[in-house]
Amino acid sequence: MEKEKKIIVYSSPDCAYCYTLKGYLENQGKEYEEINIYEDEQARKKMEELSGQTSVPVTVIGDEVIVGWNKEKINNLLGI
């Protein structure tokens, strides 16, 4: 059986797309690590380096970086 890919979601509490993304992952039964970029300056800088973006959500699935709420790409990477 294939090991589940680690999912990291960089988000902020005032981001509607972040809530949509997290709710979707939860509905699919996928566990994820949430990082609030307002609370963790180092993580925010890492997210910017990974994605080239300053806005959230940014999702990391395995080695893939997804900017924004991209359901199709998330489904492809997670085999949904």
Instruction: Give mean pLDDT in consecutive 10-residue pieces for the chain, a chain of 80 residues.
Output: 80 96 96 96 94 95 95 94
Give the per-residue pLDDT at 5.
84
The token duo for 37 is 């970029």
Give the per-residue pLDDT at 46.
95
Give the per-residue pLDDT at 3.
65
Give the per-residue pLDDT at 1.
40
Q: For the chain, what are the domain ranges? A: 7-78
| Distance between CA atoms of residues 42 and 24, nearest Å | 26
| Distance between CA atoms of residues 9 and 12, nearest Å | 10
> Which CATH number does 7-78 carry?
3.40.30.10
Give the per-residue pLDDT at 4.
76
